[in-house]
A and B are shown apart, each in its own frame.
Chain A
Amino acid sequence: GNSVTQMEGPVTLSEEAFLTINCTYTATGYPSLFWYVQYPGEGLQLLLKATKADDKGSNKGFEATYRKETTSFHLEKGSVQVSDSAVYFCALILTGGFKTIFGAGTRLFVKA
């Protein structure tokens, strides 16, 4: 079936450290891939997206590249800030399917 697997958290980093959160997927067809962020006490916000292989999504210093050969969409940021502390969800939507499938979420703590 279709699924998303992301690395377990929590991930704890110091400010200005490099961040990688791994995400791999299993899907029939060609999904669109997303990273969503949920700040404490808030709803879900789209962070970035990629709709086809080799696309790179980027926003607020975060990047992720759609790798079809490895079925991956890893999230990276070169220098994290305390304000990046949140839960990050990797997700996919199948073409024409509309239903969003989420990974389990990875909680990130950034220490000053």
Chain B
Amino acid sequence: SAVISQKPSRDICQRGTSLTIQCQVDSQVTMMFWYRQQPGQSLTLIATANQGSEATYESGFVIDKFPISRPNLTFSTLTVSNMSPEDSSIYLCSVVGGLTEAFFGQGTRLTVV
């Protein structure tokens, strides 16, 4: 199994500002995934972060809005840029280990005011 630590656990931010979310895994993993869960909704994949290369973004998500870093095999950051109230969501980091089982961090609950 994998243990994932995400920081911060929650934040309230002013519109127009940016927030960087950190994700630390207790083992080396090739791919890390960032998801968004809007209020009352399911999880939507934002991007896949690979170490040593640019992140791969899903349709509807762009690097300028959600820049991602992946400096090593145990760490990644997601930045939510130029925030608006529509960005209020839970953001989750995930890795896949073992028999293709996904593990999730506790999430970052973001409120934009």
A51-B96 Cα distance, complex, nearest whole Å: 14
Q: Which residues of A contact B94 (CB under 8 A)?
A: 100
Q: By the criterion CB–CB under 8 Å, are B45 and A99 in contact? A: yes
Q: By the criterion CB–CB under 8 Å, are A93 and B42 in contact? A: no
Extra contacts, 8 of them, besides A49-B101, A98-B31, A98-B100 (Cβ < 8 A), are: A34-B101, A44-B104, A45-B104, A89-B42, A89-B43, A95-B100, A102-B43, A104-B42
In whole Å, how far is A3's beta carbon from the nearest beta carbon of chain B? 11
Q: By the criterion CB–CB under 8 Å, are A93 and B106 in contact? A: no
A91 proximal to B (CB < 8 A):
yes
Q: Binding site of B, secondary structure by majority: helix, strand, loop or mixed?
A: strand
Contact-size category for A? 20 to 34
Interface size on B, residues (CB 8 A): 19
Residues of A near any B CB (own CB < 8 A): 32, 34, 36, 42-46, 49, 51, 89, 91, 93, 95, 97-100, 102-105
Residues of B near any A CB (own CB < 8 A): 31, 33, 41-43, 45, 48, 92, 94, 96, 99-107
Selected contact of A43 from candidates B33, B45, B102, B104, CB within 8 Å = B104
Q: Which residue of A lies closest to B30 (CB)?
A: A98
A93-B33 Cα distance, complex, nearest whole Å: 13
> Which 7 interchain pairs have the tightest Cβ spacing?
A43-B106, A44-B104, A43-B107, A100-B102, A98-B96, A93-B100, A104-B42
Q: By the criterion CB–CB under 8 Å, are A102 and B42 in contact? A: yes
In whole Å, how far is A7's beta carbon from the nearest beta carbon of chain B? 13
Q: By the criterion CB–CB under 8 Å, are A103 and B33 in contact? A: no
Q: By the criterion CB–CB under 8 Å, are B105 and A43 in contact? A: yes
Q: Which residues of B contact A102 (CB under 8 A)?
A: 42-43
Q: By the criterion CB–CB under 8 Å, are A43 and B42 in contact? A: no
